[in-house]
């Protein structure tokens, strides 16, 4: 029905420094049903990829399967392509238990793979840009802390 229509997509981008940045964009499916967005990169993710980039998101609205592709491009063209897909599962206690047991290991595997690839890039001589620290995008939790510090006169 009309209430089943996808209204918005939230692309939540995270980095290994514990930061995250949501890109909240309207869902306007094309003729093939896919939702596509071009979004200027606003958030530091990798010390090997500069900020002068554009994300090209493509998502197939959830149904029996979900498919997402992110192309990261600069002025020269596509720089990085990442994809993720999955199948819908029934929302049962057993499904939730399996996911809860599997998820921590999957996240550790992803973090290990990210750091392994970073080491390989560094060993190949890739330019390391460094973490921008205080120049990063401030998230809601940081905003609350910053507001409390400002109110108390603290700047740390």
* Within a domain: 118: no
At 148, is the secondary structure helix, strand, or coil?
A: helix
* Within a domain: 135: yes
pLDDT by residue (tens digit) across 99-129? 888 888 888 898 899 899 989 988 998 888 8
Q: Name the CA dihedral angle for 119, 121, 124, 129, rounded to a multiple of 10 degrees.
A: -100
Asked if the model's pLDDT at residue 95 lies above 90, the reply is yes
* Within a domain: 44: yes
* Within a domain: 2: no
Q: Has this prediction a pTM greater than 0.75?
A: no
* Within a domain: 113: no
Q: What is the pLDDT of residue 152?
A: 52
Query: Structural domain tally of the chain?
Result: 1
| Domain span at 76 | 9-88+126-153
Contact 19, 113 (CB under 8 A): no
pLDDT by residue (tens digit) across 30-58? 999 899 999 999 888 888 888 899 999 99
* Within a domain: 33: yes
């Amino acid at each position: 029905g009309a209430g089943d229509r996808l209204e918005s997509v939230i692309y939540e981008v995270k980095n290994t420094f514990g930061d995250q940045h949501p890109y909240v964009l309207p869902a306007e499916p094309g003729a093939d049903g896919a939702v596509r967005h071009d979004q200027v990169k606003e958030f530091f993710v990798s010390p090997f990829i500069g900020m002068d980039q554009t994300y090209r998101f493509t998502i197939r609205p959830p149904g029996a399967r979900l498919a997402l592709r992110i192309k990261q491009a600069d002025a020269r063209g596509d720089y990085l392509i990442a994809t993720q897909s999955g199948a819908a599962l029934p929302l049962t206690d057993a499904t939730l238990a399996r996911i809860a047991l599997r998820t921590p290991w999957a996240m550790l595997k992803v973090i290990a793979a990210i750091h392994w690839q970073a080491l390989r890039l560094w060993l190949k001589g890739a330019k390391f840009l460094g973490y921008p620290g205080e120049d990063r995008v401030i998230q809601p939790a940081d905003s609350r802390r910053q507001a409390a510090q400002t109110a108390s006169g603290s700047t740390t």
